[in-house]
Amino acid sequence: MGHLPQRNAYVTPLLTDYYEIMMAYSYFKCGRSDDRAVFEVFFRSNPFRGEYTIFAGLEEVLKYVQSFKLSKEDIAYVRTIVPSHIEDAFFEYLSEIDCSRVRIRAMLEGSICFPREPLMIIEGPLGVCQLLESTVLNLLNFPSLMATNACRFRMAAGPDKILVEAGLRQAQGPDGAVSASRYAYIGGFDFTSNITAANLYDIPLNGSFSHAFVSSFSGIEDLTAESTTIEGTDILPIALRYRNQLNKDSNIGELAAFVCYAVSFPQNFVALVDTYDTLRSGIPNFLAVALTLEQVGKRAVGIRLDSGDIAYLSRCARQMFAKTASAFNKPELATALKICASNNINEDVINSLNEQGHEVDIFLVGTHLVTCQKQPSLGMVYKLTELNNKPRMKLSQDIGKLTIPGNKEVYRLIGKDDVPLLDMIIRKGETAPLANRRILAQHPFDGKKRVFVTPKIAIPLLTLVWSGSRDDGESVDGIRIKMPSLEKLRAFRDAQVSIMREDHLRSLNATPYKVSVSTSLYTFLHDLWNRVVPIPELS
């Protein structure tokens, strides 16, 4: 629970929208900076036309909240951007504020979550809580979107496939990439290609070589004795012999590249096989080198397909592996060799490959994963729900777009077969749903949609994660949870997803999971609505 390093230098109180400062000044001006506010973070619909979302980014938010303090330089800069009439007292106020009077409850990082339920509730002085808005959303929106996207890839690929994130070159700048790696791992990927991300977050690395590497070799004249010898054995003549047996017309530059790479990484030989011709050159050359490695007691890992018809090519490759394994009396090779696919892989491609039948063991995913091409934004919002103990709601002619007012709790009600039945939002202070007690769950807006539930367990979903001061008023460090390792976050996410009914997780036309409100919250919401929304008049 000590002070965690703030890793990204951009994450300061000034990583915010200008209007937050302007509002903070207006609150200050009318003496309301210390009004007791309750803000709530939620989203209105699941991304990727799916029916679930993974909540992520909490650790970054807590580090930000912990370090929230405007420096002298920050304040000097703010002075330059606001109108000159603004009083010194406001800058003094800015220099004093921090999150010591803020309390935050949130879902745990890696939780499965659903539209309209509070993911994070921030309580504290109006001015400070307002200033946190943009940054908190920045630190939650993309991470949650990424983790959800990664989780969907994992669901599509199934538990046994290996997933490698390789999105550095397409991500939104350096830390778009670094955070993509982090949240892809939480979401269910196994490896990253990004060394900085691996270094920061201890994610396993994966990689082999590119087309440039292959095309940099014209022939065996590009090899030196040094680059063809494994533990004293010159493997080049062996590889050439196998090549002549497999396909003597394969590209010789490609073979040289494979030999050089296999000598460099005899335990990690994954060959990119599509530089010249996958079936006629790449795979025969790979097999020549794989058989060669066997002779010196090493085992090749496999091939990477980066173009063409992945379903077809992967099946051909598997057949060629089997044929060669049998011809050269190395039966283990038929199944041991892995096939990696890396060309424009997305969730739909994986689903389609599954339908066609394929032999891919490893998916290497870049663009579609890190840019979340299918839907590149999540749309979490940060809304005021209570002020000085009075409920606040953002109204809308469209009842579906309004904010559910008041301070809240959320429970996940688990059924007798340990499967979540629905989530229920209740008013803070109201009696929590109890195990084995029948309770009415209502749709927040549609009075006709109601259901009785008798949960086996009712799990509160919001945990106190930050409290700047103890209840006795003494200030403490603030972070109230032990930050789990990335490995634990990943396992928690996996556990959260795997207890859900499968039809909620389907890629296409999934069943929406119910998010309900208690009768008390339902009545509260609709009474308030009827009281404050004027009935329009037609004339």
Total number of residues binding its own copies (CB under 8 A)?
116
198: its two tokens: 């691996």
**Within positions 24 to 53, which residues make up the interface with its own copies, using CB under 8 A?**
25-27, 29-32, 35, 37, 39
Q: Does 115 bind its own copies (CB under 8 A)?
A: no
Closest CB to its own copies among 280 and 450?
Answer: 280
244 counts as binding its own copies under rule CB under 8 A: no
Which member of 211, 330, 480, 526 binds its own copies (CB under 8 A)? 211
Closest CA to 287 of 326, 344, 341, 343: 326
Spatial contact of 300 and 289, defined as CB atoms under 8 Å apart: yes
Which of 237, 331, 376, 400 is close enough to bind its own copies by CB under 8 A?
376
**CB 438, min distance to its own copies, A:** 36
Nearest in space to 239 (alpha carbons), one of 287, 280, 286, 288: 288
Contact 270, 307 (CB under 8 A): no
- Under the binding rule (CB under 8 A), the answer on residue 477 touching its own copies is no
Q: Taking the chain, what is the end-to-end CA distance rounded to the nearest angstrom?
A: 63
Of the candidate residues 102, 155, 171, 289, the single one contacting its own copies (CB under 8 A): 171
User: Cβ closer to its own copies: 136 or 287?
Assistant: 136
Q: Is the backbone of residue 429 left (phi > 0), alpha (psi -120 to 50) or beta?
A: left
Region from 150-158, 378-386, 491-499, 510-518 binding its own copies, contact rule CB under 8 A: 378-386
Q: Is 400 in the site for its own copies (CB under 8 A)?
A: no
Nearest approach in angstroms of CB 174 to its own copies is 4
Cα atoms found within 13 Å of the Cα of residue 21, Cβ hemisphere only: 21
Pick from 338, 352, 379, 399: which binds its own copies (CB under 8 A)?
A: 379
Please identify which residue in 173, 417, 508, 531 interacts with its own copies, judged by CB under 8 A.
173
Q: Give residues 323-352 in contact with its own copies (rule: CB under 8 A).
A: none
Contact 402, 394 (CB under 8 A): yes
Interaction between residue 149 and its own copies (CB under 8 A): no
Q: Pattern 268-297, binding to its own copies, x per CB under 8 A?
A: x------xxx--x-----------------
Question: Which of 70, 128, 135 has the alpha carbon at shortest distance from 102?
Answer: 128
Under rule CB under 8 A, residue 535 binds its own copies: no
Answer yes or no: are the C-beta atoms of 380 and 42 closer than 8 Å: yes
* Residue closer to its own copies (CB basis): 185 or 209: 209
| Minimum distance of its own copies from residue 158's CB (angstroms) | 25
What Å distances lie between residue 445 and 52, 118, 120, 452, 518, CA to CA?
20, 16, 21, 17, 12
Element at 384 (helix H, strand E): strand 381-387
Rg (CA), the chain: 29
Among 186, 372, 422, 453, contact with its own copies (rule: CB under 8 A): 372
Question: Which amino acid type is present at position 237?
Answer: P
Does 390 contact its own copies by CB under 8 A?
yes
CA 208 distance to own-chain centroid: 25
Taking CB under 8 A as the criterion, the residue among 143, 282, 420, 468 binding its own copies is: 143
Residues linked to residue 408 through DSSP beta bridges, in sequence order: 427
Strand 408-414 versus strand 120-125 pairing type: unpaired
Among 233, 371, 407, 519, binds its own copies (CB under 8 A): 371
Q: How far is the CB of 213 from its own copies (least distance, A)?
A: 5
- The single residue among 104, 137, 283, 339 that binds its own copies, judged by CB under 8 A, is 137
Q: How far is the CB of 51 from its own copies (least distance, A)?
A: 21
Asked if 215 touches its own copies (CB under 8 A), the answer is yes
Among 5, 224, 448, 473, binds its own copies (CB under 8 A): 224
Structure tokens at 143: 């991470």
Report the residue number, 386 or 423, with the smaller CB distance to its own copies. 386
Phi-psi region of 357 (alpha: psi -120 to 50; beta: other; left: phi over 0): left
State the SS3 of 339-361: EEECCCCCHHHHHHHHHHCCCCC
